[in-house]
A and B are shown apart, each in its own frame.
Chain A
Amino acid sequence: MANNTTKSGAVMVIGGGIAGIQSALDLAEMGFYVYMVEKGPAIGGRMAQLDKTFPTNDCSICMISPKLNDVGGHINIEILTLTDVLSVKGSEGDFSVKLRKNPRYIDMSKCIACGECANKCPKKVSNYFNEGVDTRKAIYVEYAQAVPLKFSINAEECIYLTKGKCGNCKKVCPADAVNYEDKAEEVTLRVGSVVVASGFDVFDPSVADTYRYSQWPNVITSMEYERILSASGPFQGHLVRPSDHKEPKKIAWLQCVGSRDINRCDKRYCSAVCCMYAIKEAVISKEHASDLEAAVFYMDIRTYGKDFEKYYNRAQDAGVRFVRSRIHTLTPAPNGDIILEYIDDAGERQSEVFELVVLSVGMTPRTNLPELAANLDIDLNEDGFIQTQPLTPINSTRTGVFACGAVNEPKDIPSTVMEASAAAEAAGRVIAEAKGTLTKSRTYPPERDIKDEPPRIGVFICHCGINIASVINIEEVVNYCKDLPFVEHCTNTLFACSADSLNKIKEAITEHKLNRLVVASCTPRTHEPMFREALAQAGLNKYLFEMANIRDQDSWVHQKEPVKATQKAKALVRGAVAKAALLEQMYQTKMGLTKEALVVGAGAAGLNSALSIAQLGYPVHLLEKTDVLGGNGPKIFSREKDVRGYVAKLIKDVENHPLIKIYKNTVPKSSHGFVGNFETKCLGPNGEFTISHGVTVLCAGGHAHKPASYLYGENPNVLLSLDMDELLATNDPIIKKPNQTFAFIQCVESREPDRPYCSKICCTHSIESALTILDRNPEAIIYILCRDVRTYGFREKLYQEARSRGVRFIKYCVDCGKPEVVAGANGKLNITIKDHILNRPILIEADYLTLATGIDPNPMREEIVEVFKGQLSAEGFLFEAHMKLRPVDLATDGQYLAGLAHYPKPLEETIVQAKASAARVATILSKDHIMVGGVIAVVNPEKCAVCCTCVRACPVQVPKIVRNEVDPALRGHAFMEPAMCHGCGVCVSECPGKAIKFQFFTDEQLLAKVEAMVQEKKAKPA
């Protein structure tokens, strides 16, 4: 099919942040060649700058670093750094892109990133990567884990390039990589589609400087604060303030700086992430110094995402103070402190001294976005972001050009990752027939067979910046390890995971003829694949590698006991070396797969997922437990978009798509198999049947919560949000009746101990309903009784409109008393609520009361996780593989999720996640085979007593007794299909004949490891 197409099988991804990275990786795995165009000298984007991420407190650079290396090492991704897009001509499927590659003045093929040049460079300039908190040289790398890890010269800063003098770097460069003659170069590429993922700028508070940001050093932005917290930041992770490097004991966060503010900066929207990052920064700060006072000054706390509310509650428990007040006046105090004046809850004027003030700055469009948009010939919206539509949230105004991440609207990392995958789906779908036409496949150098070599182990001990080295005496560990048995080479490294270190590892393998490698650094969970890849690239079997976790499980958890931590590090490395000596070469084999998908649930998520997968060219089996398609979709009314029409069309498209088979009234009963080869038994109207599929997408949905409060079910004028939608959709005359009062109560049975999460959609939903009522009945009186109004992103504009049109928002808090609703004598609903500003009860006589109740997870969730072996969160939503970076994947390979099954979300986000799931699906189904084997159980037929212990012990029924292949007359033996073995090792631990070897975790290896860890071995003989 691929041969006759006129379309290009390549995609240009603009931007090398997490959005671009995810899009690029998905597209490359889907079978397309990717050009990643990055304006700066390295990819990584904002995530590389962040310290930790909410709500898991995962280290941001630790998370993204493996991804950077995946991109850097991906054979089908070409990174073009320091590159601008000049023009995009042509049309979808056949774009001609003109680029300008700006000069780096460094020959990338020669630079070894040794840093000699920067050492000798006399020109110090503000370090933008550290948000200007410190300085760097004019020749620089942005950060230690940068990809590509190559120096570059900023021409405007360089003395030689501006004045023709100096030339130090060129003189000292040992690799002769400096090239002052480097020139900008224009190149033209042919691509089929474009993904814009160029990210955002951080709001610059000096623009409207009521915050005195540009005047006082101890008023800083949150981004600067991230860098201060970061171990690789300007103060090596020591929490000190810029003015005097003193540890601040009292810090204030001021929310909504550059967001929700028309007066000072013309930023009407909410930046969506600031509440959470401020809470995170406050929590982390208190971890740095437990006696630190942290206060967050806010208008509404918008902790609307998965696990956000829990995080907020935990922060309060940890002593972070939250003050509902917008600060207008900052005054200086002695010693660089700052006085904040504000009105407290009781209406009293307060004045408080803080040692550091962090401005929670919002996201703004990149300053160069207008130029880029012009070059791409796409429109921007009134706020300067890329123009998209609610139901096509990743489509720009030009066909074939898609946009994802904060370039569209402010959003957090998981939403960005979802959009990035969705953009990959869209960009791939329009050139689906060109799949595989431009991709290359990786070749490794031939593997050196080390079977007969005695072990020669290389050990690399990582400083992880100061993460490890500040606690563990690295030198001592290195010296100790040099004397361990079979260790030929042992050295330390600043960041073992940096491209530079990986190269050194490869060189060491060659130079010292190493045949086993040990890295003592962080956790193998995140970093093992990267090091294994390095081994493969060095011609060594990738399994000849073992890690010692001396950071997450040593330096980080024994910070105050450096001596013992160092001892422990020695023991951990000793164990790793002992195991490494016994490691063996292992091989993976290819295995076929069923190129079909199973989608469970036919609501908006399932329908979109199914349609996109089918449009990418893969057959889909769509299960729906009821006899109607559409889920909640047909019940929704929106003022902003025609949801019902959209869903109706979607259903039609799905029903008409030849690759989609719909099974109504059908539920999955059991599922077996593994990525590429699943078998799911389903029960439909005609009984049980089995579907073979390579991947699974769970879109089991959720539904509106039915409350047991506020007279719901007792009084006909008490409605749920969807009931109100029905009145609005059918244009019910009651809406237009004169003298009507409509009330809404938000967070009904939500954000309370029984249902502690925020359902994300309800604030916007009620406001949209209110506005629609006003559109039709301008005289109507509308009250919205709420806690925090969570109209994140552009939804904030609806909130503003509602307020300006007279919708009365009355805030209540659960502790000081929820609203009370009784049926009045006049047929009205009497709602009493305590106004916290007036501090007295208010009586509202409403004709209709709408309860915003939030979303409950699917009642069948237990069965679903049982069938598909997933996991549920405490709230009953499916657990994704990783909250930040794998929001569409389930923990089991080949399983994905989308929609309300994951967490409550508005339709546009469900659409995005569903399309993202299609991209994820395509990364599997695009392949002709999957690789199997490796860390699995293998039977030694000679030792097998054919006792069936493994057959019975295996949790997934993998072992079978098979005939002897050499001679069927010989006794058979147990056999585990490598593609099926999940690698748990249960059989190995029970085999009475010890005939099963668990590769990479053999008895010998583990016993040697345990023994070495417990017993300090004598040094090897000299």
Chain B
Amino acid sequence: MIICERKPIDEIKSFIDGKKKVLLVGCRGCVTVCNAGGTKEVEILAALLRLDAQKDGKELTVDEFTLERQCDPEYVDELADLVSKGYDAILSMACSVGPQFLSRRYPKERVYPSLNTCFIGGALAHGVWAEHCQACGNCVIHIYGGLCPVSRCSKSIMNGPCGGSSNGVCEISKEVECVWHLIASKFMDEGRLAEFAPIQPIKDWSKSRDGGPRKIVREELVK
């Protein structure tokens, strides 16, 4: 899923400075699952913003609504009635797709992102998420024992490990495990040296972000 985290409250406050009526829009997709932008987080942020305004004696209404997903126009449409009430600002609590879809659907509204979109990853434990994919567009994890060196190696090298890892930890930080250590150990431990031995070719990065913004068109689905 896409892992996000809420922006610092100061930054969000700066978005709504001087505004009186704000709509906070959550998303029941990835950001609910990663505890960043579901109903609960919407509720908490709304309360914080209200408190902030109340303490200064400012008038502020914060309405809350959580969409099934902000990355599909049909769900974004559901906001139409609410939006027509007239808000000074719409705060999206989704990944960065959300504010863009809201902006496109409601072009006259001022839409702000309340979350920072961090990476594609999964939960390692309650409250801990880690990057597992870089959306390189050409998945090769099967070659690496089910581990992705592209997203999980600091250098994204294809023939690791480099000399910088020790005790299975990447040189850049003790918090970063060396995925190449995991890959190599796995092959060695399982007697699959033959799979480790081949030189992996220089990666074709053309399908990754480096190749420019990407789009998928499924002709058989397109009406």
| Residues of chain A at the chain B interface (Cβ within 8 Å) | 943, 945-949, 952-953, 990-994
Which residues of chain B come closer than 8 Å to A945, judged between CB atoms? Answer: 28, 32-33, 38
- Cβ contact of B32, chosen from A952, A953, A990, A993, cutoff 8 A: A993
Known A-B contacts A945-B33, A947-B33; A993 and B123 likewise in contact (beta carbons under 8 Å): no
The CA-CA distance from A953 to B35 in the complex, in Å, is 12
Q: Mark B32-53, 1 if CB is under 8 A from A, else 0.
A: 1111001111010000000000
Which residues of chain A come closer than 8 Å to B39, judged between CB atoms? Answer: 943, 992-994
B25-79 at interface with A (beta carbon < 8 Å): 28, 32-35, 38-41, 43
Least Cβ distance of A158 to chain B in Å? Answer: 68
| Number of A-B residue pairs having CB atoms within 8 Å of each other in the complex | 38
The CA-CA distance from A235 to B28 in the complex, in Å, is 65
Which residues of chain A come closer than 8 Å to B126, judged between CB atoms? Answer: 949, 952-953
- Cβ contact of B40, chosen from A946, A948, A952, A993, cutoff 8 A: A993
Q: Can you spell out 16 A-B residue pairs with CB atoms less than 8 angstroms apart? A: A945-B28, A945-B33, A945-B38, A947-B32, A947-B34, A947-B38, A948-B33, A948-B123, A952-B126, A992-B32, A992-B38, A992-B40, A992-B41, A993-B28, A993-B38, A993-B40
Tell whether, in the assembled complex, residue B43 and residue A992 are in contact, meaning their CB atoms are under 8 Å apart: no
The CA-CA distance from A301 to B43 in the complex, in Å, is 61
Q: Is B125 positioned at the interface, with any CB of A under 8 Å from its CB? A: yes
Closest residue on chain A to residue B40 by CB atoms: A992
- Cβ contact of A994, chosen from B33, B34, B40, cutoff 8 A: B40
The CA-CA distance from A947 to B123 in the complex, in Å, is 10
Q: Mark B85-101, 1 if CB is under 8 A from A, else 0.
A: 00000000000000000
B122-161 at interface with A (beta carbon < 8 Å): 123, 125-126
Least Cβ distance of A141 to chain B in Å? Answer: 53
The CA-CA distance from A952 to B35 in the complex, in Å, is 13
Closest residue on chain B to residue A943 by CB atoms: B39
Which residues of chain B come closer than 8 Å to A993, judged between CB atoms? Answer: 28, 32, 38-40
Least Cβ distance of B54 to chain A in Å? Answer: 13
Which residues of chain B come closer than 8 Å to A994, judged between CB atoms? Answer: 38-40, 43
Which residues of chain B come closer than 8 Å to A949, judged between CB atoms? Answer: 35, 126
Output the residue of A943, A945, A952, A992 with the most chain B CB within 10 A: A992
Which residues of chain A come closer than 8 Å to B34, judged between CB atoms? Answer: 947
| Residues of chain B at the chain A interface (Cβ within 8 Å) | 28, 32-35, 38-41, 43, 123, 125-126
Known A952-B125, A994-B40; further 8 A-B contacts with Cβ < 8 A: A943-B39, A945-B32, A949-B35, A949-B126, A990-B35, A992-B35, A992-B41, A993-B38
Which residues of chain A come closer than 8 Å to B43, judged between CB atoms? Answer: 994
Closest residue on chain A to residue B127 by CB atoms: A952
Which residues of chain B come closer than 8 Å to A943, judged between CB atoms? Answer: 39
Which residues of chain A come closer than 8 Å to B41, judged between CB atoms? Answer: 992
Least Cβ distance of A939 to chain B in Å? Answer: 14
Q: Is the interface of A mostly helix, strand, loop or mixed?
A: loop
Which residues of chain B come closer than 8 Å to A947, judged between CB atoms? Answer: 32-35, 38
Least Cβ distance of A946 to chain B in Å? Answer: 8
Which residues of chain A come closer than 8 Å to B28, judged between CB atoms? Answer: 945, 993
Closest 9 CB pairs of A and B: A952-B126, A992-B38, A947-B33, A945-B32, A994-B39, A992-B35, A992-B40, A992-B32, A993-B38
Least Cβ distance of A288 to chain B in Å? Answer: 46
Least Cβ distance of A959 to chain B in Å? Answer: 12
Closest residue on chain B to residue A995 by CB atoms: B39
Which residues of chain A come closer than 8 Å to B123, judged between CB atoms? Answer: 948, 952
Closest residue on chain A to residue B123 by CB atoms: A948
Which residues of chain B come closer than 8 Å to A992, judged between CB atoms? Answer: 32-33, 35, 38-41
The CA-CA distance from A353 to B214 in the complex, in Å, is 100
Least Cβ distance of A943 to chain B in Å? Answer: 8
Which residues of chain A come closer than 8 Å to B40, judged between CB atoms? Answer: 990-994
The CA-CA distance from A953 to B40 in the complex, in Å, is 15
Closest residue on chain B to residue A947 by CB atoms: B33
Closest residue on chain B to residue A950 by CB atoms: B126
Least Cβ distance of A947 to chain B in Å? Answer: 4
Closest residue on chain A to residue B43 by CB atoms: A994
Closest residue on chain A to residue B33 by CB atoms: A947
The CA-CA distance from A949 to B129 in the complex, in Å, is 12
The CA-CA distance from A972 to B9 in the complex, in Å, is 34
Least Cβ distance of B124 to chain A in Å? Answer: 10
Least Cβ distance of B118 to chain A in Å? Answer: 16
The CA-CA distance from A885 to B27 in the complex, in Å, is 52
Least Cβ distance of B6 to chain A in Å? Answer: 12
The CA-CA distance from A945 to B28 in the complex, in Å, is 7
Which residues of chain A come closer than 8 Å to B32, judged between CB atoms? Answer: 945, 947, 992-993
The CA-CA distance from A992 to B39 in the complex, in Å, is 6
Closest residue on chain B to residue A946 by CB atoms: B33
Closest residue on chain B to residue A951 by CB atoms: B126
Least Cβ distance of A1006 to chain B in Å? Answer: 13
The CA-CA distance from A480 to B120 in the complex, in Å, is 57
Least Cβ distance of A935 to chain B in Å? Answer: 22
Which residues of chain B come closer than 8 Å to A990, judged between CB atoms? Answer: 35, 40
Least Cβ distance of A710 to chain B in Å? Answer: 55
The CA-CA distance from A946 to B32 in the complex, in Å, is 9
Least Cβ distance of B31 to chain A in Å? Answer: 8
The CA-CA distance from A294 to B39 in the complex, in Å, is 62
The CA-CA distance from A949 to B33 in the complex, in Å, is 8
The CA-CA distance from A994 to B32 in the complex, in Å, is 10
The CA-CA distance from A990 to B44 in the complex, in Å, is 12
The CA-CA distance from A953 to B126 in the complex, in Å, is 7
Least Cβ distance of A960 to chain B in Å? Answer: 15
The CA-CA distance from A952 to B127 in the complex, in Å, is 9
Which residues of chain A come closer than 8 Å to B125, judged between CB atoms? Answer: 952
The CA-CA distance from A947 to B41 in the complex, in Å, is 14
Closest residue on chain B to residue A992 by CB atoms: B38
The CA-CA distance from A947 to B31 in the complex, in Å, is 10
Closest residue on chain A to residue B125 by CB atoms: A952
Closest residue on chain A to residue B28 by CB atoms: A945
The CA-CA distance from A949 to B38 in the complex, in Å, is 12
Closest residue on chain A to residue B32 by CB atoms: A945
The CA-CA distance from A926 to B77 in the complex, in Å, is 60
Least Cβ distance of A936 to chain B in Å? Answer: 20
Which residues of chain B come closer than 8 Å to A991, judged between CB atoms? Answer: 40
The CA-CA distance from A994 to B28 in the complex, in Å, is 11
Least Cβ distance of B1 to chain A in Å? Answer: 9
The CA-CA distance from A744 to B38 in the complex, in Å, is 72
Least Cβ distance of A651 to chain B in Å? Answer: 48
Which residues of chain A come closer than 8 Å to B33, judged between CB atoms? Answer: 945-948, 992
Which residues of chain B come closer than 8 Å to A952, judged between CB atoms? Answer: 123, 125-126
Least Cβ distance of A513 to chain B in Å? Answer: 36
Closest residue on chain A to residue B37 by CB atoms: A992
The CA-CA distance from A993 to B126 in the complex, in Å, is 15
Least Cβ distance of A454 to chain B in Å? Answer: 27
The CA-CA distance from A993 to B93 in the complex, in Å, is 13
Least Cβ distance of B99 to chain A in Å? Answer: 19
The CA-CA distance from A953 to B128 in the complex, in Å, is 12
The CA-CA distance from A1016 to B157 in the complex, in Å, is 66
The CA-CA distance from A992 to B41 in the complex, in Å, is 7
Output the residue of A949, A952, A991 with the most chain B CB within 10 A: A949
The CA-CA distance from A946 to B123 in the complex, in Å, is 13
The CA-CA distance from A953 to B123 in the complex, in Å, is 13
Least Cβ distance of A949 to chain B in Å? Answer: 6
The CA-CA distance from A949 to B43 in the complex, in Å, is 17
The CA-CA distance from A404 to B41 in the complex, in Å, is 59
Least Cβ distance of A721 to chain B in Å? Answer: 53
The CA-CA distance from A947 to B122 in the complex, in Å, is 11
The CA-CA distance from A949 to B34 in the complex, in Å, is 9
Closest residue on chain A to residue B41 by CB atoms: A992
Closest residue on chain A to residue B39 by CB atoms: A994
The CA-CA distance from A994 to B40 in the complex, in Å, is 6
Least Cβ distance of A942 to chain B in Å? Answer: 11
Least Cβ distance of B2 to chain A in Å? Answer: 13
Least Cβ distance of B115 to chain A in Å? Answer: 13
The CA-CA distance from A947 to B126 in the complex, in Å, is 10
Least Cβ distance of A941 to chain B in Å? Answer: 14
The CA-CA distance from A824 to B26 in the complex, in Å, is 87
Closest residue on chain A to residue B38 by CB atoms: A992
